[in-house]
Chain A
Amino acid sequence: MSMSRRIAPFHLDVLKEAGNIGAGHAATALSSLLAKDIDMKVPQVKLEPFHMLGDTLREDMETVAAIYFRIDGEVTGSMFFMLPVKEASSFAQKLTGDSSQKITVSNTTELAVSALSEAGNILAGSYLTALADFTRLNLIPSPPGFAVDMASAILSYALVPLSAAADEALIIETEIIENGRESNRALNGFFFFLPDPGSLGKILQSLGVPEDE
């Protein structure tokens, strides 16, 4: 059955609220890591058919540095932290305090990858902990995977395993920005959570929302 027939607008609102709580915690964690004021925009929750997915990505997100987590437990899914590649280096430099660190399409230093992966770990971990507390469901992230590539190719990686059961994906998307003067921003990234189709019912149920209302 198509997901859109089971997901009503108010379900999306519930998921947005769950995303909001997760994102709030992640922003706090990242703020203390960077000692900067980090803001997260209110999450967008979208149900998109696969053939439309490329259109959801912004133009400057064409080439990104991405940290990927597979989520296991009572709720399964995929989680991504993506930065435009031109901002990834300066973010890695801030994290390591080392201006020689680089993340580019052809040349990436090992320490920069670890730093970015660790930031991703902290973001995903605090997001999932908040979501787990909220839903009383168990969510465990895999070790991080790292890639610099086209954002749409990276997103599709998460969609393939679930594409046998679905024709559309539910995406909870949160924009992460560093508060401050536009020109000084080191961080302007995106955080994506894509619960597997089978997990949606569990999330909604645990939040006390009947699936077909």
Chain B
Amino acid sequence: MNNVIRVGMADINFAASPSTIRTSGLGSCVGVVIYDEKLNIGGMAHIMLPDSSMSRGGIVQRAKYADTAVTDLVSYFHSKCKEGETVRLKAKIAGGAQMFQFSTSTELFRIGPRNVEAVKEQLKKRKVILMNEDTGGSSGRTIEFDPATKKLYIRTVNKGEKAI
């Protein structure tokens, strides 16, 4: 049966086909999907902030930050690999919108673009190829990844659905 695996805010999860994986309500958050062309598995994280060094709490919730979430997604795929095998990880990302326009916008309210930048930097650092992105703008997004087709479906309230 086709199952939809859900990823909450500041959450990370994995799905193997025929299951798909979805996160809803990405505003300034960024949804990052990492997959391997040969495996029918997709990993997804719903990232809220660019860097875990920003954490002011005790234990770092790793899925919340771009650096730790990308690290965890990548190491999951490395652990799935047989010894000597090479992985060619690919990624698709969406989100990083600026939902409200304020004249007095502080740096924190520009977090969307900063999240996108941080995710890209981490992907580069981990040698993950960014295939497609749908980022920025002022609309919220709901995304769903199909590990079988490697397609990322993106829905916004005013533009309907598209796939990248």
How many residues of chain A have a CB within 8 Å of chain B? 35
Residue pairs across A and B with Cβ atoms less than 8 A apart, 5 shown, are A50-B8, A52-B8, A143-B102, A153-B99, A159-B9
- Judge whether A165 and B24 touch: CB under 8 Å: no
Q: Within the assembled complex, what's the spacing in Å between the Cα atoms of A146 and B109?
A: 15
Q: Tell me whether B111 and A161 are in contact (CB under 8 A).
A: yes
Q: Are A50 and B10 in contact (CB under 8 A)?
A: yes
Query: Given the complex of chains A and B, what is the CA–CA distance between A68 and B25 in angstroms?
Result: 16
Minimum Cβ distance to chain A for residue B79 (Å):
23
With a cutoff of 8 Å between Cβ atoms, the chain B residues found around residue A148 in the complex are: 157-158
Measured between alpha carbons, how far is A160 from B147 in the docked complex, in Å? 29
Given the interface pairs A51-B8, A164-B56, the reply to whether A142 lies near B25 with Cβ below 8 Å is no
User: Which among A106, A143, A151, A161 is the interface contact of B108 at CB below 8 angstroms?
Assistant: A161
Distance, CA A179 to CA B14, complexed state (A): 46
Contact between chains at B28 and A164 (CB < 8 Å): no
What total of A-B pairs shows CB separation below 8 Å? 108
CB of B49 within 8 A of chain A? yes
Q: Are A154 and B57 in contact (CB under 8 A)?
A: no
Contact of B99 among A105, A147, A163 (CB under 8 A): A147
Complex contact A157–B99 (CB within 8 A):
yes
The answer to whether B28 and A156 have CB atoms under 8 Å apart is yes
B11 / chain A contacts, CB cutoff of 8 Å:
50-51
- What B residues does A2 contact at CB under 8 A? 57-58
Q: Please report which residues of chain A, range 174-210, place their CB below 8 angstroms from some CB of chain B when the two chains form the complex.
A: none
Chain A contacts of B24 at CB under 8 A? 54, 150, 152
Residue B17 lies at the interface, judged by CB distance under 8 Å to chain A: no
Within 8 A of B (CB), among A13-52: 50-52
Give the residues from 1 to 58 in chain B that come closer than 8 angstroms, CB to CB, to chain A: 8-11, 24-29, 46, 48-49, 54-58
Q: Tell me whether A167 and B61 are in contact (CB under 8 A).
A: yes
Closest to B98 in A: A157
Decide: A50 near B9, CB < 8 A? Known: A147-B100, A149-B140: yes
Q: Which residue of chain B has its CB nearest to the CB of A57?
A: B25
For residue A155, CB closer than 8 A to chain B, the reply is: yes
> Is B150 in the interface zone, CB < 8 Å from A?
no
Of listed B8, B11, B54, B108, residue having the most chain A CB within 10 A: B8
A106 CA to B101 CA, complexed, in Å: 17
Give the 4 A-B residue pairs with the shortest CB-CB distance, closest first.
A153-B140, A152-B25, A51-B8, A145-B100
> A156 contacts B111, CB within 8 Å?
no
How far apart are the CA atoms of A52 and B8 in the complex, in Å?
6
Q: With the chains together, A166 CA to B58 CA distance in Å?
A: 9
Besides A54-B8, A145-B101, A156-B25, 7 more A-B contacts (Cβ < 8 Å) are: A106-B158, A147-B99, A148-B158, A150-B140, A155-B25, A156-B48, A157-B27
